Amino acid sequence: MYKIFATVLAGFMLLASPALAGETASPDGAEVYFINIADGDTVSSPVTIQFGLRGMGVAPAGTEKDHTGHHHLFIDRPPLGEGPDGMDEFEWPIPADDNHRHFGGGQTEVSVELAPGEHTLQLVLGDWSHIPHNPAVVSDVITITVE
């Protein structure tokens, strides 16, 4: 019984607070998206990927300014919030490794080497300290095939 209650409560809290994210607010309607590739595309490596941002500005990491952030590219990992650290991913700095590429200089495009096969990609905007905004500004996860 308690477990059911806890589950319902957790579900309610999830709905009631979009606050499961960092402390930097994102404006209504902010959107990050892939400009030049789409789900299901077949491409060849190196893959040029252009990052689109609507309703916010791009600023280098370390620049604390309202309604700005820098791009992160998630490669071959679950969507933000569903990775190894679960919901904590919304509240902690994005790691930096092969699965998490940072564009702290404010870059809006990358050319990335990917092995042949299927790969998933997601764009996640991070604030000056690499923490997702609140609410988080993320793209859809797309799957591409590299020839």
Specify the residue, 102 or 119, whose C-beta has the smaller distance to Cu ion.
102
Specify the residue, 130 or 133, whose C-beta has the smaller distance to Cu ion.
130
Specify the residue, 34 or 103, whose C-beta has the smaller distance to Cu ion.
103
* Residue 73 beta carbon to Cu ion: minimum distance, rounded to whole angstroms: 10
* Residue 15 beta carbon to Cu ion: minimum distance, rounded to whole angstroms: 29
Backbone angles phi, psi at 79, to 5 degrees: -60, 155
Q: Is 130 exposed, middle or buried (0-12, 13-18, 19+ CB in 10 A)?
A: buried
* Residue 20 beta carbon to Cu ion: minimum distance, rounded to whole angstroms: 19
The residues of the shown chain that bind Cu ion, judged by CB under 5 A, are 102, 126, 130
Q: How many CB atoms lie within 10 A of CB 133?
A: 25
List, edge to edge, every strand of the sheet that includes 31-34. 31-34, 47-54, 109-112
